[in-house]
Amino acid sequence: MAVAAITNVQNATKPPNGATRISTARLYRDPRAPQRARQLLTEWLGKGDELLPDALQIVSELVTNGVIHPSKGLGREWLVLSASRGEGFILLEVTDPGVVGPVSQFRLRMPDITAESGRGLSLVAAYSKDWGTYTTEASRRVVWAVLAYPTE
């Protein structure tokens, strides 16, 4: 497990260019979505990929946030998971329905030691080389993370 320092905690950022899409899947927003996302990512990357353990942690956090935080309602039932590969990196993206009303900013926070939640984005920041979020023209929120292969 490679845990990196927090390198990017900004909002309204786009992921790096130069990645080729491996695959994309729609996931129903229910408690089974994180497990399904991990299964898909394992198929897409392969069990032998050295970044798979970190990628599974990140995708679990991002999909869980996409299930829990956006408002429910008609037309807001789905998430989109995408994985891409670039020269020396993997790009993971989770698109959720976004928020209804004023756009809230993501921020890393230190939850109380007894809190059962609130550590997800800190984990994403720790396991990724870079991460960020932006809103699409359709007001959907995309949260992305880049994992870099070790250089020799």
Q: Which domains are present in the chain?
A: 20-148 (3.30.565.10)
**Residue 6, pLDDT score:** 35
Query: Is the pLDDT confidence value at 75 over 90?
Result: no
50-66 tens-digit pLDDT:
999 999 999 999 999 99
77-98 residue pLDDT tens: 999 999 999 999 999 999 999 8
pLDDT given for residue 108 in this prediction: 55
CA angle 59, 62, 64 (to 5 degrees): 100
Q: Residue 24 pairs with which residues in a beta bridge?
A: 82
pLDDT greater than 70 at residue 120:
no
CB hemisphere CA count around 75 (13 angstroms): 6
pTM for this model (two decimals)? 0.83
Q: Determine the number of helices (DSSP H) and then strands (DSSP E) in the chain.
A: 3, 5
Asked if 129 and 150 count as a contact pair (C-beta separation under 8 A), the reply is no
pLDDT for the residue 101: 58
CB atoms within 10 A of CB 124: 25
Alpha helices in 15-133 (DSSP H): 33-45, 52-68, 120-127
